[in-house]
Amino acid sequence: MMGWVVTAAFFAFLFWRVRRAREDAAERMTSGEGRSPLYWTGIALAMSVLALSMYMAHIRPSGIPPVLWLVAIALFVAALLVRRALKWRYPH
């Protein structure tokens, strides 16, 4: 019984988030602030950092090549720089 309640609550939360996201997107489009390519670049960098860190967590710590650590750090720094650029361009 509890599983059904949790599942229903999860789908209600998803429905609510999609509705809010559509409202926010419509509000941004009317004000001329659509999602910029810089925004999508930031999302792609963040997902790349997440995927790489999950891969690194999956393999043995002794088996992680040093180049992966450098790539992870570079992606993290790039994601932070894109985030800062977005904050500068859209300050709210």
Give the tens place of pLDDT for each residue, 16-72.
999 998 888 888 788 766 677 888 898 999 999 999 999 998 888 778 888 999 999
Which distant-in-sequence residues (6+ apart) come within 8 Å of 48 by Cβ? 75
Predicted pLDDT at 2: 80
Mean pLDDT of 3-17: 93
The residues near 78 (Cβ < 8 Å, ≥ 6 apart) are: 45
**Does the pTM exceed 0.85?**
no
Tokens of 38: 């810089």
Residue spans per domain, the chain: 1-33, 35-92
Evaluate whether 75 touches 45 at the Cβ level (below 8 Å). Answer: yes
